[in-house]
Amino acid sequence: MIPLRDSVKSRTFPIVNITIIVLNLLVYLREVTIEPYRLNQVFYAFGLVPAEVLNTLFTGAPLTPVLVSFVTSMFIHGGWLHVIGNMLFLWVFGDNIEDRLGHLKYLLFYLAVGVVGGLAHIISNPVSTVPVVGASGAVAGVLGAYIIAFPRSRILALVPILIIFTLMEIPAVVFIALWFVLQLFNGVASLGGAANTVAYWAHIGGFVMGAILIKTMAPRIVKGYYRP
């Protein structure tokens, strides 16, 4: 299912969400100008490599490069479908979470769920030497927050029926729950050694943390007004 828009209107301009989207797109446009061999080096330099993280912890090597890679990896993507898919989900769902949290809190939230997604992937595949790139863990955190904050929202989506895509309006709870179940199913399957190129446990970890953080970071609504 491909989300196009939701039914919740933001009260504020989502400057942080739009900035994140623009940065991701600009970085990807720069990526396509780099030769494949050099781009592979970029992935290893700025992506998150589980084995490298553990090696740093056990050997006492400087932590700064590894800590930085948790953030830089969120802004690098492995292909145009990867970046467009992530940014589309962020466009549809992120503005409402920024509206609920406020600009600064949303930025901290986004980075936090992305980092937790990276940690979840490392725990699930600690010896991997393949760099993880993409905003998927952070975007999953936004979805986790959205299902808690806006359960009654509806999502206009393109839904595949056989070989034809049809426009359908789907309750946000159903749309996001189906997405999460798919990630969980594939994540469990990957633990059995199934080959895949998707960091499903980064999605799962980011999603769960997003659902937790929105409960603690978001202001409460009292008689129709937001209160810290």
Record: fold of 2-227: Rhomboid-like fold (1.20.1540)
Structure tokens at 112: 């936090």
Contact 140, 204 (CB under 8 A): yes
Q: Residue 124: pLDDT above 70? A: yes
Strand ranges, E, within the chain: 2-6, 154-161, 164-171, 220-222, 225-227
- Longest CA–CA separation in the chain, Å: 58
**pLDDT confidence of residue 160:** 84
Average pLDDT over every residue of 85-109: 96
State pTM to two decimals: 0.91
* pLDDT tens per residue across span 32-75: 999 999 999 999 999 999 999 999 988 888 888 899 999 999 99
- Smallest Cα–Cα separation from 61: which of 73, 52, 72? 52
**pLDDT confidence of residue 225:** 37
3-state secondary structure of 101: helix
